[in-house]
Structure 1
C-alpha cells in the first residue's frame, strides 16, 4: 500500500513532467484532491527529533524501546508510539534483526528459577584482538537474577587460578553465590575451580556440550558486550582495552535500560530487590 506522502509526490511529478493540471494528475493516480492539498498542522517536534538522533548515534545498538526509556528519563513527555513514529521517520531503524532460532521438538527439564540476587552467577569466556591483531581473552561474570555485570576481566591469556582470583575479588565485595553456571572449558573443568567451589560450598552447574542455551544469561550478555563495545572499539593496547571495557560495564550496570527488568538498570533493579527484602 502506497503512503499518502508518496502519492502526493507522484502526482506532483506528473504535473511537472507532463504539464497537466492537479485535477488530471489526481485522476490518473486515483488520489483525492483534498488529500493532495493536505498540509500537516502538527508540531514537527524538532528538538525531540534531534535528541532522539543524538541518542541513537551514541547508542548504535539500541532500538526504539530503549531509546524511549532514555527519553523518558530525561523528562520528555512522549509515549512509545510517538517515539516509534519519529524513529521510523528519521530512518533510524537500520539495524538488522537476527533470525530467531527454531524451537527444538522437545524441551529438556528446566533449571529452577533464580529466586534472588547472589543465588546464581553465570561465567564464560570471550575472545577479541588489539588493533595489530594480537589476541586476548575476556572473562565475563553476571548475576542471573539482577543481570548485573559483576566483572569483565581482559587478559592476554587465562589460567585456572586466575579465574579463581577473579571470583575471590567479586566475593569480597558481595559474598559468594549458591551456584555457578559455566561451560565445559578447561579453565572451568579443572581442579582449581572445583576446589574453590568445594571450600566455599558453591555448586558448579555445567552446561551440556554444544548447548550454549543452557547458559543463556551469560550468552545474551556476551552478545551485548560484543555488539555495543567490542565491535565498536579499536583497542590500542591492553590498558586501553581494560579502560574501555570497564567504562562500558559501568554504563551497562548504571545507565543501560534492561527490557527483562521492566526498563530498569541492573543496579536499580538490585536496589529495588534488596529494599523489598528488607521490608518483608
Structure 2
C-alpha cells in the first residue's frame, strides 16, 4: 500500500476546514487531492480528534504486526511438521534440513537455521578434506581379497604397505565405502570352565587339536586336522583328508615334534581319534601330557575352536573345493598367510610368526611382558585330574 504524504493530524485539519464552512472543491484544490480521497478520509477519520487518530494508527500497526507473527508461526509449524520424519542429530543432518527448508519453503537461511537449531557457520562450512582416492582404491582391493577381514586388520595391512593414516580414518573410509562384513550367526555353544592353563608364555608349552568338517563340490565330505600352539597362536598343521584315524593323528603329531620340538601338554576333545588305543600308546611313548576337555564343553579348548571359526569364515565358506589336492593347496596357502601376514588381535595385532620370534625358548619367562597389550595366557587355576587311560593298549 502506498504511503500517504499527509499525516493523521494534517488529514483531520483538512476535514476541519470543510466542517468550518469551506467548499469541498476549494479544499481539495488547495491541498491537491481528489474529491474521492477527501470523502475516503472523511469516512475513516470523520468525527475523530487527533489523539483518537493516533490511537487508531497504533492499533492498525499492532494488528499488522500480530498478523505477521501469526503467519510466521504458521510457516514455522508447517516447516517443523515437514521435518518430523528427518533425524537431526548430526551436523550433516541439520545442514540437509536447512537446505530443505530453504528450497521447499522459500525461507531465508537465517530463519531456517533458527528453526532447526543449527549454527550458520556450520551450514556454510565447505569441507576441504582430500578424497583419498588411492587409499580408498587399495582398501577396496584388500577388502575384496580378504572378504572376512574387518577394518582393524585391513588398517594393519594398509600401514604395512606404507599408507600413513590412523585407525579412525580407516574406519571412516571403511564405513563410507560400504565394506562392512556381514555377521554370520553361530549356534549356541555350551559354556564350561576353562582347562588348566600354563603360566609360562613360551612356545611349545601347550598345543590344542581339533577337527573341522567340509565337503567338495561333488558333495563328498572331508575333514581337516588342526594343530595350534595356544601361546603363539601359530597353526602348526592343517591336514585335510577324507578319513583320519587315530594312528594318522599320532603320525602327524610325531612329524610336528620332530620338526618343532615336544610340547608340555596337548589338549583335545573326547573324539574317538584322540581316545583310541593308538593315540594313548603314542602319548605314553612320547611322554606327552594329554588333557581331555569335559564332554559338551568346547570352550575349554577355546583357542583351537576360535581358529576353526576363523578358518571356516575366511577360507571354507569362501572357497569351492574340487578335490583333495585342491584343498591341500588352498590350506597350505591360507596357513602360510595366517602365520606370516594375518594380524592377530589376541597378540597385539602381530602375526603369529612375528610374535613367536619375541618369545624365549620353552621353560623361560618373557623378557619384556609389557610388550603385549594383554597376556596370551590366562592366570593359573587348580589342576584338574587327567582322564585315566581306561582303554587296553595294543600289544
TM-score (norm 2): 0.64
| Aligned-partner Cα distance in 1 for 2:153–2:194 | 32
More displaced, 200-209 or 45-54? 45-54
State which drifts further: 46-55 or 90-99: 90-99
The answer to whether the aligner puts 1:90 opposite 2:177 as a matched pair is: yes
Select the residue among 284, 300, 316 that pairs with 1:198. 284
Aligned to 2:341: 255
Q: Structure 2: how far apart are the matches of 1:153 and 1:72?
A: 33
Q: Does 1:240 align with 2:326?
A: yes
Q: Could you say what secondary structure the match of 1:188 adopts?
A: coil
* Deviating more after overlay: 261-270 vs 85-94: 85-94
Which stretch has the larger CA shift, 138-147 or 37-46? 37-46
Look up the match of 2:135: 48
**Where does residue 35 of structure 1 map in the other structure?**
122
- Name which of 175, 178, 181 aligns with 2:261: 175
Q: For residues 176 and 275 of structure 1, what CA distance do their matches in structure 2 show?
A: 12
* 2:160 pairs with 1:73: yes
| Per-residue deviation, 1:25 | 3.7
After superposition, the C-alpha distances for 1:204-246 in whole angstroms (9 at most, x for unaligned) are 1101000001111100100000000000101111111111111
Q: Are residues 108 and 244 of structure 1, via their aligned partners in 2, closer, same or farther at CA, if it must alter by over 3 Å? A: closer
How do residues 1-280 of structure 1 correspond to structure 2 at under 5 angstroms? 2-96=89-183, 110-274=196-360
Structure 1 residue runs of 4 or more that deviate by more than 6 Å after TM superposition: 101-104, 275-280
Q: Which moved more, 1:20-29 or 1:51-60?
A: 20-29
Which digits, 9 at most, give the CA deviation of each residue in 1:80-128, with x for residues without a partner?
22222222232323433869x8997x95674333531112110000100
* Alignment check: 8 A CA contact 2:213 2:224 kept: yes
Deviates more, 1:243-252 or 1:108-117: 108-117
Structure 2 unaligned regions, length at least 5: 1-87, 368-395
Q: TM-score, normalised by structure 1?
A: 0.89
CA distance in 2, matches of 1:186, 1:238: 23
CA RMSD of aligned residues (A): 2.8
Bigger shift: 44-53 or 221-230?
44-53
Q: Is the 8 A contact 2:147 2:181 kept in 1?
A: no
Give, in whole Å, the separation in 2 of the partners of 1:130 and 1:108: 34
Indicate conservation of the 8 Å contact 1:122/1:180, yes or no: yes
Q: Unpaired runs of 5+ in structure 1?
A: none
